[in-house]
Structure 1
Amino acid sequence: MGPSVTSAHIVLQSTRFMSALPGDEVTLDCSIAAGVSMSSYTMYWYKQDHYGEPIQFIIKEYDKPTQNYEAILNTNDNSFNLKVSKVTAQDSVTYYCAAGHSEARTVHTLTISVI
């Protein structure tokens, strides 16, 4: 039993499923539990195209925005959101928000379906 057991509820996401239309801009929410120091963690977003496939890294805190993704870190309210611009059917995947702290990472998931 490592430190990951004690940190299971550090990463919080209020939304589990989201629908969007092609071309929409969507923001996926992720936050760290109140009372947890965000500065002692590195925040990451990952995605997984289909269950059982490899999880792909998207962006981490302080990375420059890419064509599709922008990470929005707000240490005032402990949030680390992901803005996905101009969504297409290819963005209809599962997204993972993760907090890295030494060896342990806690992960929560959110799925977007593009209609």
Structure 2
Amino acid sequence: VQWIPLGKRLTLSVSILQSGDLLSPPGASVALECQMGPGFSMSSFTMLWYRQNRPGAPIQLLLTEYEQTKDHFRASIDGPKNNFTLQIHDL
């Protein structure tokens, strides 16, 4: 995120905490979580979930915080807890 006030350039670093890797059998469901670091609020940003099938592959937009469901994906946001969750059903 960059803020550019009155001709001066100021860079602002935002910490994003993500859940680790998950391994699940076919047909199962998993939940991935993303959380803003201390001092920042998700209400100040638009949250997006992306997917990259393998290193070097194109990045694909899955869902935004404004979309509830799409195919096997369901996104939910908990503003007070600064938590953005992606549930994947029927892997």
Regarding TM over 0.5, the answer is: yes
TM-score (norm 2): 0.82
Task: Give the stretch that moved more between structures: 29-38 or 52-61.
Answer: 29-38
The aligned runs of 1:77-92 (5 Å cut-off) are: 77-87=81-91
Amino acid in the other structure paired with 2:77 = L
User: Is 2:12 the partner of 1:6?
Assistant: yes
Q: Does structure 1 residue 47 correspond to structure 2 residue 51? A: yes
Q: Equivalents in 2 of 1:53, 1:46: separation in Å?
A: 12
Compute the displacement of 1:66 (Å): 1.4
Which structure 1 residue ranges, 5 or more long, are not aligned? Answer: 88-115
Instruction: List structure 1 segments (4+ residues) > 4 angstroms apart after TM superposition.
Output: none
TM-score by length of 1: 0.66
| Contact 1:34/1:78, CA 8 A, preserved across alignment | no
| SS of alignment partner, residue 73 of structure 1 | strand
- Determine which structure has greater relative contact order: mean sequence separation of CA pairs < 8 Å that are 6+ residues apart, divided by chain length: 1
- Aligned-residue identity in percent: 33
- Inter-partner Cα distance in structure 2 for 1:46 and 1:26: 16
User: What is the CA distance between 1:23 and its match in structure 2?
Assistant: 0.6
